[in-house]
């Protein structure tokens, strides 16, 4: 048997649906997640392959996977597995890839084991893949920052003085990170329109999405010990899609002087499958030229970004079909993940396994590549017309379903992230 790497484009799986053109989960992907079924109610670790989930806890129980001396795949999060480090992540991915290869009989021809280990995706419930101890949201798209700065400040000075020198970010709320498919309750809070003399308590009327990705931290670091930009990627387990739901009217009133608070903390949705950095490796691309050059601790050479196509669909509750309202690409991000992690820790801040660090809204240079309704409809001045030709949106309405997708397209396969999805529910004033 030839020694093919897990990223080899010639690999095929005995799971036939993994070989179909357009499948998000070919054998070259093998993303990790946490799932349960009506029969197996305790969540456990799995890998997506075609239209199936491979139950890693089953393979661990029979000795086909031995990532550690203790069991890690029957846990309700991936944190214990991720904490084993990069060498273990790579070894397990290689072992799973081999077991799923079309020319490997060990699992393919063992009908009883295969019946226990493979479960149709449509039969599983996905859960948060990690316990998120800390959540940071960056602001790393130059196009997005320029759009917002032009909208609310002087277009000639859209970027604040620090933006080209450091990855701007803020610490968000980890407790309200939810998995795809979780309904999102419209927030309420203080708002103060420009025409009002005093604030009022009201439901958010400018509810928005933000198209983002995020990376999962794969190691604990010590307080006071920064992570260098050259070492940073070795501490990143993988990436997910992220929707940073935003209450623009609440944010407008509260964000000066310390930034977002209630406008962002009510919900953040992530996709359930973590695509490993190993699977993304063939899709490296150079990032934008950074001018002026960053300070030495942020200086990075080589291909520091990834060619990840992204889209957003919006479907009102009464609509028969969704409208794709955004198409963009991660490769346009000005600050890289390594730079974000290096800057986050340069002060001595420690990070932990499972920490979530979001890219910030990902916008491109064309009108349809903006990653938020704030930009797409230019704060309500240019409402979007949806697929039926009559329904318009400036911000999200109750019942709207937002679906984000991401993928890396190769010549013979794609590395898909699946989707992150959420439906807007009406505000609940009875809580107060």
Task: Say which CATH number the domain at 220 has.
Answer: 3.90.850.10
172 and 298 share one domain: yes
Q: Give a yes or no: residue 85 inside a domain.
A: yes
Closest CA to 88 of 55, 60, 116: 60
Residue 420 CB-density burial (10 A; 0-12 exposed, 13-18 middle, 19+ buried): buried
Whether 416 is covered by a domain: the verdict is yes
Q: What angle do CA 344, 347, 351 make, to 5 degrees?
A: 50
Mean pLDDT of the chain: 96
Q: Is residue 189 part of a domain?
A: yes
Q: How far is CA 229 from the centre of its chain?
A: 21
273 and 151 in one domain? yes
Give the residue numbers marked as catalytic: 144
Percent with pLDDT over 90 in the chain: 96
Q: Give the model's pLDDT for residue 69.
A: 87
Q: Are residues 367 and 407 in the same domain?
A: yes
State mean pLDDT over 373-396: 97
Task: Tell whether 10 is covered by a domain.
Answer: no
Q: Which of 75, 109, 127 is the last residue of a domain?
A: 127
Residues 240-292 pLDDT 10s = 999 999 999 999 999 999 999 999 999 999 999 999 999 999 999 999 999 99
Query: Which domain CATH number covers 20?
Result: 2.30.30.230
How do residues 397-420 score in pLDDT, each as one tens digit? 999 999 999 999 999 999 999 999
Tell whether 426 and 329 lie within a shared domain. Answer: yes
**Which pairs with CB-CB distance under 8 Å and at least 24 residues apart come from 47-50?**
47/96, 48/24, 48/121, 48/273, 48/418, 49/13, 49/15, 49/18, 49/25, 49/100, 50/13, 50/15, 50/16, 50/17, 50/18, 50/19, 50/20, 50/23, 50/25, 50/26
Task: Let me know if residue 8 belongs to a domain.
Answer: no
Say if residue 29 is in the same domain as residue 167: no
* Of 84, 103, 127, the domain-final residue: 127
pLDDT tens-digit profile of 153-211? 889 889 999 999 999 999 999 999 999 999 999 999 999 998 999 999 999 999 999 99
Domain of 21 in residue numbering reads as: 16-127
Q: Is the pLDDT of residue 13 over 80?
A: yes
Q: Are residues 281 and 240 in the same domain?
A: yes
Instruction: Kindly state whether residues 308 and 390 are assigned to the same domain.
Output: yes
pLDDT band of residue 430 (cuts 50, 70, 90) is low
Radius of gyration of the chain (CA): 22
Of 127, 152, 171, which residue constitutes the final position of a domain?
127
66 and 142 share a domain? Answer: no
Same domain, 185 and 301: yes
Distance between CA atoms of 248 and 204, rounded to whole angstroms? Answer: 8
Mean pLDDT confidence for 338-357? 98
pTM of the full predicted structure?
Answer: 0.97
Whether 399 is covered by a domain: the verdict is yes
Q: For residue 431, name the pLDDT band (cuts at 50, 70, 90).
A: low
Question: Is residue 2 one of the residues assigned to a domain?
Answer: no
Averaged pLDDT, 312-337: 97
211 and 305 within one domain? yes
In a domain, 44, yes or no: yes
pLDDT higher than 70, residue 1? no
Residues 157 and 218 in one domain: yes
State the total domains in the chain: 2
User: Are 109 and 142 members of one domain?
Assistant: no
Helix (H) or strand (E) holding 136: strand 135-138
């Amino acid at each position: 048997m030839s020694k093919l790497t897990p990223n080899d484009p010639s690999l095929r799986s005995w799971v036939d649906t993994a070989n179909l053109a357009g499948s998000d989960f070919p054998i070259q992907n093998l993303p990790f997640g946490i799932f349960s079924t009506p029969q197996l109610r305790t969540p456990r670790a799995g890998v997506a392959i075609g239209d199936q989930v491979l139950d890693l806890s089953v393979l661990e129980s029979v000795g086909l996977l031995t990532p550690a001396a203790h069991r890690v795949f029957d846990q309700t999060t991936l944190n214990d597995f991720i904490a084993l480090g990069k060498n273990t992540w790579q070894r397990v991915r290689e072992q799973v890839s081999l077991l799923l290869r079309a020319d490997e009989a060990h699992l393919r021809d063992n009908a009883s084991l295969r019946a226990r280990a493979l479960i149709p995706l449509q039969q599983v419930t996905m859960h948060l893949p990690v316990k998120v101890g800390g959540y940071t949201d960056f602001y790393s798209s130059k196009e997005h920052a320029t759009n917002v700065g032009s909208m609310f400040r002087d277009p000639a000075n859209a970027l604040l003085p620090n933006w080209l020198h450091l990855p701007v970010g803020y610490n968000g709320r980890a407790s309200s990170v939810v998995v795809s498919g979780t309904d999102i309750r419209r927030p309420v809070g203080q708002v103060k329109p420009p025409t009002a003399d005093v604030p009022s308590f009201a439901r958010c009327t400018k509810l928005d999405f933000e198209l983002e990705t995020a990376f999962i931290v794969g190691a604990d670091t010590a307080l006071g010990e920064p992570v260098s930009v050259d070492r940073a990627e070795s501490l990143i387990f993988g990436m997910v899609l992220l929707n940073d739901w935003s209450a623009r009217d609440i944010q407008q009133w509260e964000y000066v002087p310390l930034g977002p608070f209630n406008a962002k903390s009510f919900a953040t949705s992530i996709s359930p499958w973590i695509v490993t950095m190993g699977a993304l490796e063939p899709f490296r691309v150079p990032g934008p030229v950074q001018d002026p050059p960053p300070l030495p601790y942020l200086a990075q050479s080589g291909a520091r970004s990834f060619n990840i196509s992204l889209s957003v669909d919006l479907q009102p509750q009464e609509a028969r079909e969704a409208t794709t309202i955004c198409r963009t690409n991660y490769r346009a991000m000005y600050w890289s993940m390594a730079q974000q992690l290096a800057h986050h820790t340069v002060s001595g801040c420690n990070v932990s396994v499972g920490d979530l660090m979001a890219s910030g809204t990902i916008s491109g240079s064309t009108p349809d590549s903006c990653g938020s309704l704030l930009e797409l409809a230019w704060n309500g001045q240019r409402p979007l017309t949806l697929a039926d030709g009559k329904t318009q949106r400036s911000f999200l309405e109750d019942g709207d379903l937002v679906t984000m997708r991401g993928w890396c397209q190769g010549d013979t396969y794609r590395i898909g992230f699946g989707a992150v999805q959420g439906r807007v529910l009406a505000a609940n004033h009875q809580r107060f």
